[in-house]
Amino acid sequence: MYHPDGEAILNKIAHVTKFETFNEQEIIDFLSKNKVDGIILRAPAKITPAILDACKDVKAISGAGVGLDNIDVAYATKKGIRVLHAPKVNSQATAEHAVSLILAAMKDIPLFHNETKQGNFGYRDGNFTRELYQKKLGLIGFGSIAQKVAKIMKYGFDMDIIVYVRTIHEERKRIAESLDVELTMSMDEVFQKSDIVSLHIPLNNKTKELIDRKYFKMMKPSAVLINTARGGVINEDDLVSALKNKQIHRAGIDVFDNEPPAKDHPFFDLDEIVFTPHVGGISLEAARAMSMITAENLAKAINGEELETIANRKELTNIK
């Protein structure tokens, strides 16, 4: 769990077994020998078909965040198991982190920090930071996190904001008008026009490595790419090439395709990337709220209560 208060709730209502590392066979063996009613997992742990085959008593499984890309939801549905995601209580934290990465990349904060720490105060000479004021921000996706980013950047930096969405319906129009942002169904347009592009899309079969060399070639050489969504939505090799070839200026990355990344991950050789270890959504405030709600909702799901956070609720109804 992200916070001890969530664990405290679970410990009051159930006998809890905690696995500190993800070992598929160890989990399968435990499920085969014990009656388990529910499971909560955090990445990089996964719920695979083999684990689901061992879930003879499991009624509900919950991720510890909004994303469900580490759970085989379709197979869990076939098994009649409820799959929950955490509500979007970490939207503010993730939005603030995306903005922090934008600022860090535009202001070259990590580079200046390291050079100053090494006694190279003169590094400031000839190395200029870049302003956000009235530049164009492109958002890929327009969920709660992207909307908060738009609000911060519009009112904090007077940025011109363009947002890619797959469909434009009345509710989106209303939200876009309230935030004074432009909606488009052309992702090409966002990448071509923006000074900063921030990704806010889920990882699925359609978005896997969606952001690749095609889009990097469209970007301005001065542009910055930010990813606080999922690492798998970017082709990481193409991003490395784009930065090395100066097709784009900087990147801010909170998520990796494989987590934790290998020690020799190519991102780590580039000064052009600001990176953090998937911490965007785990502010102290968000972690506490998310852990408590996750624990409470899992207990409710095990007891058969209907919840909005059951991701496969409709599919399970259709099976029945």
Residues 112, 254, single domain; the answer is yes
Residues 265, 308, single domain; the answer is no
Residue-level pLDDT at 2: 76
Cα distance between residue 134 and residue 154, in whole Å: 9
Residues 96, 208, single domain; the answer is yes
Residues 147, 38, single domain; the answer is no
> Which of 275, 292, 309 marks a domain boundary?
275
Residue-level pLDDT at 265: 97
Residues 230, 292, single domain; the answer is no
Torsion angle defined by CA atoms of residues 90, 96, 99 and 103, in that order, rounded to the nearest 10 degrees? -140
Cα distance between residue 100 and residue 265, in whole Å: 23
Residues 180, 145, single domain; the answer is yes
Residues 169, 213, single domain; the answer is yes
Residue-level pLDDT at 63: 86
- CA 112-257-84 angle, 5° bins: 115
Residue-level pLDDT at 320: 55
Given the residues 182, 259, 296, 315, select the one marked as catalytic.
259
Residues 149, 263, single domain; the answer is yes
Residues 70, 13, single domain; the answer is yes
Q: How many domains does the chain have?
A: 2
Given the residues 230, 249, 250, 288, select the one marked as catalytic.
230
What phi and psi, each to the nearest 5 degrees, are found at residue 106?
A: -70, -30
Q: Does residue 26 carry a catalytic annotation?
A: no
Given the residues 82, 85, 249, 278, select the one marked as catalytic.
278
Residues 214, 264, single domain; the answer is yes
Residue-level pLDDT at 64: 76
Residues 145, 258, single domain; the answer is yes
Residues 19, 67, single domain; the answer is yes
Q: Does residue 170 carry a catalytic annotation?
A: no
Domain with 24, as residue range(s), is 4-85+283-317
User: Which residues of the chain have a pLDDT value below 70?
Assistant: 65-66, 319-320
Q: Does residue 230 carry a catalytic annotation?
A: yes
The CATH code of the domain that includes 178 is 3.40.50.720
